A = this chain, B = another copy of it.
Amino acid sequence: MEHYLKTDEWRIIESGFHPEFAECSEAIFSIGNGRMGQRANFEEGYGGQSLQGSYVAGVYYPDKTRVGWWKNGYPEYFAKVLNSVNWIGLDIEIEGERLDLNAAEVLQFERELDMKRGVLSRQFQLRFPSGKEIEVSAVRFVSMRRDEVGAIRYGMKALNFTGQARIIPFLDFDVVNQDSNYDEKFWEEVERRTGSQKAAIVARTKKLDFQLASAMRYEWWTGDKIQTLYPETIERDKYVANSFEVTLEEGQDNCLYKYASVCSSMNHAPSALLDTADERASEARRAGFDVLLQEHTDHWAAQWEKSDIRIKGDASAQQGIRFNIFQLHQTYTGEDERLNIGPKGFTGEKYGGSTYWDTEAYCLPFYLSTAPQKVAKNLLVYRYDQLGKAIENAAKLGFENGAALYPMVTMNGEECHNEWEITFEEIHRNGAIAFAIYDYIRHTLDASYLFEGGLEVLTGIARFWFQRFHYSQRKRAFVMHGVTGPNEYENNINNNWYTNYIAAWCMRYTADCFDRCKQEDAKRTEALSSRLDWSKEEGMQWRDRADRVYLPQDEEHGVFEQHEGFMDKELVPAERLDPDERPINQHWSWDRILRSCFIKQADVLQGVYLFSEEFDRETHERNFDFAWEKWTRPMSSTCARRVWTWTITTRKLQKAFISPAWQALG
């Protein structure tokens, strides 16, 4: 599938139109600025398969949960980021024929995402059923400098005719979420305003009362001359537009500039929203497309200065790593500690745009290395702000004394996930959130964060782990039953090596942090301990329990055992799999996947990686080779072992590479 896109070190290029991948392209060519994002939908609309998608960070909806069989403790709702106003919209009709790539012959098509500059452009020629031919050249971006503004330059040229065109720039809140559980629409209109060459509209979510305002301005140019227009206005529920007619002269360049703003009640008083949005759009028009573009590309140039990673001799890998970097920066800028990183960024609706442990495990190291310190810190603060909810969440599962379990999926700190083996059992997420604090401190040397919230979060998590183990008489050790490790192809297992290891580490590390804080500021530590009802005895209990945690190992192979019983599996090499049955998650039933030795994520290696300095090189190699030789190699790119060896010796680069490395292993 990926082969329909061209390889280029700085650009993603679709050459020739591929309607069979239309929705995929809409995702890949998405643009965003951390505050808002937009799929690569066509401004003029598209009659084929498409998901019109425009998302605003932090604006979500508590959609009524859908489950097969209800389990005690499931949440009532699943929060999802909302598909919001379509601000790119531009309906075009030429002599009665609607401009639509799905309803015309595409003579030429080229789409390009310039990652260096953060600009999406599209250039195409098409022939209408009537035989008229037209050329379009569309460029757009959402400004990194003005994070409530998007701009479009939409050029049009009649190639073999002169004729009338009706142009309708609009703003539309009458949108659906593809992933709505019960096919509901989530927006209702608050107010709207239309005028000549402008329009604005405010809508609110049916629950939680988020409000968004969007406004637009536009201009029509023929050649290098701006045209005076006398548009009609169009209004209906949740929709505002202008409509005007122009003559397209054969061979003449025409161009529409559209400036749109999207402002959220998270950042403005609702009463001021409409005016603010209108003002933003107006300012953008006054600045003009070229100035806005220059600001924006300057920003990206500075960003790349700090965060580019160069790979020589492999243009495809270079393109891939830059795509990852580009996505991370355009999804999260660290400006606002209320925001986080949805797994799909602004590219679509899967995973609901919510926060997962992937933020701490895979994204935080990237920002630590490539962005100002406050960017990573705001990710920590996000969790600190949600500590109360994490404690409530743990209490629902029977934990006490301020034990905290961070949710698997969340918007506001409440658990949104509803699949027991993940919701209640994939608790290693708590470990990543604790580790992130450690990682931040060792990287920035800013231990003051322990006083500002870090120690509270660590204490809540350590208390959770302490209670989550129980003593096995038979094993004479503390065991942890009923978990799902990072490898989600195993559920409800006992003594997952990774989870037990990081839990023991966390108890010890938190006790250490109390000691460290005491050394640094005894009085402040005293006050904090008292507020948390923490005593030295609790720290000793943590250490004692950590020392007696059961960690499964396989003596025969000299490796850590992913969990108790893994070595009883049928250990089949992946190369023996029927190629027609791969990928197995699309062909095998869930039980078959679970029983098999095939894994989704390199579970043990995740631990060996995080705590790499605690293991000698031989241990690294044995564990890596065990996973690698038997089951991973046939599924992975050939460079994985090299990446691994490199990462365990090169601390800094390790962070930048962690995400693609796991993907190769997975």
Contact = CB atoms under 8 A, between A and B. Distances in A.
A642 interface: no
B482 A595 contact: yes
- Most chain B beta-carbon contacts within 10 A, residue among A418, A425, A494, A565: A565
Interface string A380-412: 000000000000000011100000000000000
A155 to B, nearest CB: 43
- Most chain B beta-carbon contacts within 10 A, residue among A471, A475, A481, A595: A595
A564 interface: yes
A575 interface: no
A18 to B, nearest CB: 27
A71 interface: yes
Interface stretch (A165-173, A184-192, A501-509, A585-593): A585-593
Contacts of A588: 72, 398
Nearest to A73: B589
Task: Give the dominant DSSP class at A's interface.
Answer: loop
A492 B494 contact: no
Interface string A555-567: 0000000001101
Interface in A473-519: 473-475, 479, 481-482, 491-494
Contacts of A482: 591, 594-595
- Most chain B beta-carbon contacts within 10 A, residue among A67, A481, A571: A481
- Most chain B beta-carbon contacts within 10 A, residue among A72, A482, A570, A591: A591
A473 B570 CA distance: 8
A419 B492 CA distance: 14
Contact of A71 (B67, B474, B565, B589): B589
Contacts of A470: 569-570, 595
Contacts of A473: 571
Contacts of A66: 66-68
A568 interface: yes
Contact of A590 (B68, B420, B586, B591): B420
B589 A481 contact: no
A585 to B, nearest CB: 7
Contacts of A649: none
Contacts of A570: 470-471
Contacts of A564: 565
Nearest to A491: B492
Interface residues of A, number: 48
A373 interface: no
A530 to B, nearest CB: 29
Interface in A579-633: 585-592, 594-595
Given A474-B567, A482-B594, A492-B492, A589 B397 contact: yes
Contact of A568 (B65, B474, B595): B474
A424 B589 contact: yes
A472 interface: yes
Contacts of A474: 567-568
Nearest to A471: B570
Contacts of A589: 71-73, 396-398, 420, 424
Contacts of A67: 66-68
A287 to B, nearest CB: 46
B397 A568 contact: no
B481 A590 contact: no
A555 B655 CA distance: 49
A568 B479 CA distance: 8
- Most chain B beta-carbon contacts within 10 A, residue among A66, A479, A567, A589: A589
A106 B595 CA distance: 60
Contacts of A591: 397, 420, 424-425, 482, 492
Given A66-B67, A471-B570, A586 B492 contact: no
A472 B570 CA distance: 7
B424 A590 contact: yes
Nearest to A479: B568
A627 to B, nearest CB: 18
A316 B3 CA distance: 74
A381 B492 CA distance: 37
Contacts of A73: 589-590
Nearest to A572: B470
A421 B69 CA distance: 11
B68 A492 contact: no
B585 A72 contact: yes
A22 to B, nearest CB: 23
Contacts of A397: 589, 591-592
A542 B397 CA distance: 44
Interface in A125-172: none
A220 B32 CA distance: 76
- Most chain B beta-carbon contacts within 10 A, residue among A65, A419, A493, A590: A590
Interface string A446-465: 00000000000000000000
8 contacts: A67-B67, A72-B588, A397-B592, A421-B491, A473-B571, A481-B565, A492-B594, A494-B568
The 4 tightest CB contacts between A and B, nearest first, are: A73-B589, A424-B591, A472-B568, A71-B590
Given A68-B68, A396-B589, A481-B594, 10 more contacts: A65-B68, A66-B66, A72-B585, A72-B590, A398-B588, A398-B589, A421-B421, A472-B568, A482-B591, A492-B493
